[in-house]
Structures are given as C-alpha cells and as structure tokens.
Amino acid sequence: MTGIAAPRMRGGSMPSSFQTDRLTHVELTWVEKQIEYWIRFGQDVQETILDRRRRVLSFRPGTTFAFVRWASNDFGTIISRIDIVRAITPGEAYQTLPFVRPGGDILLKIESWPKVERVLQLIDAIEALSLDPAEAAPDYWRHVHNRLSAGQDARRYSRDQHQAWLKRRRIAP
C-alpha cells in the first residue's frame, strides 16, 4: 500500500498534488457515439483542455453540478448514469466518484437510461420554472434518488419548495 489510499477512504487529506487546490475537478470525455461524459448543469470556474476529446472542468466548494456519463460498444449502451454532486470544501468528508477529483457529496446517483432520462426531465422542469437546478435544495435531489431507486415517481420541484430552501439556507450556520 502507498499510504495514500487509507486516508482518502475516510475523506482525509487529498494527494499532495491537490492539497493547495480548493477546487473539485471533473474530467470530461467526448468520443462521438462511444463515450460521452458531460456536465448537465453547474457553474464551472475553470476549464483545462487536455486534448481534442478530453477536458477538465473545475468547480468551487459548495457548487452543485450534474455529471452525466454514457458509453456504448458495438452491441449497444454499456453505461448510462447521472450523478448530482456538491463540490466539497477541503477537509470535509466526501465520497469518491470516477473522473471527479477528489470526490464530492453525492446527492443523487442513478443508473440505466430510463431513470437517467427521468432525472433529465426533472431538471428540465426546474429550468421551466426559471430556476437554476444547481440552486435547488440538496434534499430534493436526495428525494429523487430515493424514489427512482425504489421504482417510484419523484415529486416535481416547486417554487414554494425553493423559497423554503432559500429561507432555510439563510438562517443555517
């Protein structure tokens, strides 16, 4: 063992290359009709282009973003997944996620295209209310995860729910 793996599993310090970096980095890949990783919503603060197929987007602590991964081979889709993640503050506990460094607070993790499509529809519905999905209550994304994982329909996000979240966020420490 290298000594790095154990602390990271507990949400401890990041590898030395990221200790001075407060950002959460997401590596995106786009190979038409083979591998398509993209950000559905979330405000990045930095973009690094690695090559013509790969780039890295970086997010400030506290930023919520949706990371969509889709891949296929000659026989069809092999992965279809969406993760809604809150970027963490250094020293905060986190879960690891492929292509996300160091990791984040995973609010929603859904696999299989029908469920991913349902999450995308719910995101569209939030945008139809003229709200930014990145500003939606984290509890809403946890609700969507739990309901879809149980094979049930999730409630739609409402303006009243959003106003309650904004008020709660103002008074929370």
Residue 21: pLDDT band (50, 70, 90) is: confident
How many domains, in total, are found in the chain? 1
Report residue 116 as tokens: 């991913």
104 assigned to some structural domain: yes
pLDDT for 143-166, tens place per residue? 999 999 999 999 999 999 999 999
Query: How far is 11 from 143, CA to CA, in rounded Å?
Result: 24
5 assigned to some structural domain: no
Confidence (pTM):
0.86
75 assigned to some structural domain: yes
Determine contact, residues 105/88, Cβ cutoff 8 Å. yes
Q: What share of the chain is helix, strand, coil (3-state, %, to 5)?
A: 30, 35, 35
Residue 8: pLDDT band (50, 70, 90) is: very low
Question: What is the arithmetic mean of pLDDT over 9-37?
Answer: 73
6 assigned to some structural domain: no
62 assigned to some structural domain: yes
Give the distance from CA 65 to its chain's centroid: 5
Query: How far is 25 from 103, CA to CA, in rounded Å?
Result: 8
- Return the pLDDT at 172: 79
Provide the residue range defining the domain that includes 110.
16-171
pLDDT for 26-68, tens place per residue? 999 999 989 999 999 999 999 999 999 999 999 999 999 999 9
Task: Tell whether the model's pLDDT for residue 12 goes beyond 60.
Answer: no
3 assigned to some structural domain: no
11 assigned to some structural domain: no
154 assigned to some structural domain: yes
